[in-house]
C-alpha cells in the first residue's frame, strides 16, 4: 500500500463518512421487538418531515433476499465460515447499493440488524472470533459504522417464549440452543460497553411505548447535533 506524501502515513482504507444522513441500527436477540421499534421510529421521523429509508439485514436488496434464503432456510449444513461470509456479502452489497446512497442524499436510514449482529452471532455464537468477524464486516462496508445503535436487551428465555407465542417456524439461527443465544446476548452487551457513545441499551421487557420514547429522546439529540 502506498503512503500519504510527506507524512509517511498509510492512506485510510475507509471511505469518507456519510455527509448529511443519519444511520440508526437496531440490534438484539431474536424476539426482542426490534421490528416494532424500527417501525415506530420511522413513523415519528416521517411525521417530523424526514425522509426515512427502513431496511434490514439480511435481505435488504434483491441479492440480499437470495442470500437470506440460503443463510436462514437452507436445509443442509452451512459451515460457520461460509455463514459469516454470506452475511458479510449481503452487507457489502446492501451498504454499497442502498445504505450509502441514502445517507449521501441526507436520508435517515433505520436498519434492523447490522455488523454487531455478525460479531454477536458468528463471532461469539459460532465462536469464529469477534475481532475477525468485525474486521470482515468493516472490510465489506468500507468502514461504515452507525451513528446510533439501539440494543434491545432481553434474556434469551423470555425472548424464546415470545417467539414460541408467535407460532412461526424457527429459522436456522433461531433454532440454536440456549447457550448459543446466551453467548450472543453477552457479546451484544460487551459491544455496547466498549462503545457507549454509539450504543443506547434498553431493557426490552419494558412496554413498547416507553422504549419508543427513549429511542426518540436519543435520536432528537442526534438530529439537533447534526
Ligand atoms: P432477522 O431478520 O432479525 O430475523 P426475523 O426475520 O426472524 O425477525 O434475522 C435473521 C437471523 O439472522 C437472526 O436469527 C440473526 C441472524 N443474523 C446473524 O446471525 N448474523 C448477522 O450478521 C445478521 C444480520 C443476522
**pLDDT tens for each residue of 70-115:** 999 999 999 999 999 999 999 999 999 999 999 999 999 999 999 9
Q: Decide: 29 in ligand 1 pocket, CB within 6 A.
A: no
* pLDDT of residue 32 exceeding 50: yes
Whether 107 contacts 21, CB under 8 Å? yes
The percent of residues in the chain predicted with pLDDT above 70, rounded, is: 92
Give, for ligand 1, the residue of 31, 84, 94, 113 to mutate: max count of ligand atoms closer than 8 Å to Cβ.
113
Each residue's pLDDT tens digit, 35-63: 999 999 999 999 999 999 999 999 999 99
Give me ligand 1 centre to Cα 115, in Å: 11
CA distances 174 to 73, 115, 125, 131, 181, Å, are: 11, 18, 12, 23, 8
CA 147 distance to own-chain centroid: 12
Q: Are 28 and 36 in contact (CB under 8 A)?
A: no
Cis bond before residue 58 (omega within 30° of 0): yes
- Check residue 12 and give its pLDDT: 40
**Ligand 1 test: best mutation among 37, 54, 72, 116, most atoms within 8 Å of CB?**
72
pLDDT at residue 166 in the model: 86
Q: Rounded CA gap, 109 and 56, in Å?
A: 10
Residue 65 CA, ligand 1 centroid: distance in Å? 12
CA distance 149 to 26: 6
Please report the pLDDT score of residue 2 as a whole number: 32
- 25 Cβ inside 6 Å of ligand 1: no
Q: Looking at per-residue confidence, does 197 or 20 come out higher? A: 197
pLDDT (0 to 100) of residue 156: 92
pLDDT grade for 7, boundaries at 50, 70 and 90: very low
Nearest CA to ligand 1 atom 17: 117
Residue 175, pLDDT above cutoff 70: yes
Confidence of residue 167 (pLDDT cuts 50, 70, 90): confident
Distance set, CA 57 to CA 130, 135, 205, 225 (Å) = 19, 18, 23, 27
Q: Measure 6 CA to ligand 1 centroid, in angstroms.
A: 45
What residue ranges define each of the domains in the chain, with the CATH number in brackets?
19-225 (3.40.50.300)
Residue 58 Cα to ligand 1 midpoint, Å, equals: 6
- Ligand 1 atom with least separation from CA of 121: 19
**27 touches ligand 1 (CB under 6 Å):** no
The verdict on the CB of residue 142 being under 6 Å from ligand 1 is no
Can you give the pTM of this predicted structure? 0.91
Amino acid at each position: 500500500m502506498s503512503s500519504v506524501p510527506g507524512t509517511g502515513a498509510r492512506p485510510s482504507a475507509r471511505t469518507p463518512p456519510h455527509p448529511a444522513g443519519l444511520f440508526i441500527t437496531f440490534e438484539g436477540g431474536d424476539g426482542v421487538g426490534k421490528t416494532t421499534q424500527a417501525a415506530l421510529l420511522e413513523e415519528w421521523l416521517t411525521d417530523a418531515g424526514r425522509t426515512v429509508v427502513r431496511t434490514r439485514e439480511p435481505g435488504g436488496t434483491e441479492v440480499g433476499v437470495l442470500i437470506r434464503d440460503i443463510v436462514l432456510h437452507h436445509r443442509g449444513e452451512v459451515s460457520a465460515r461460509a455463514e459469516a461470509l454470506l452475511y458479510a456479502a449481503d452487507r457489502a452489497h446492501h451498504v454499497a447499493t442502498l445504505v450509502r446512497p441514502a445517507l449521501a442524499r441526507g436520508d435517515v436510514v433505520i436498519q434492523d440488524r447490522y455488523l454487531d449482529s455478525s460479531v454477536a452471532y458468528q463471532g461469539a455464537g459460532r465462536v469464529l472470533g469477534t475481532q475477525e468477524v468485525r474486521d470482515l464486516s468493516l472490510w465489506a462496508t468500507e468502514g461504515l459504522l452507525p451513528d446510533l445503535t439501539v440494543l434491545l436487551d432481553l434474556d434469551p428465555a423470555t425472548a424464546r417464549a415470545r417467539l414460541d407465542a408467535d407460532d412461526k417456524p424457527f429459522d436456522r439461527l433461531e433454532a440454536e440452543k440456549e447457550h448459543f443465544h446466551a453467548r450472543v446476548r453477552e457479546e451484544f452487551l460487551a459491544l455496547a460497553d466498549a462503545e457507549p457513545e454509539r450504543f443506547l441499551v434498553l431493557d426490552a421487557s419494558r412496554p413498547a411505548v416507553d422504549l419508543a420514547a427513549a429511542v426518540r429522546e436519543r435520536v432528537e439529540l442526534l438530529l439537533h447535533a447534526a
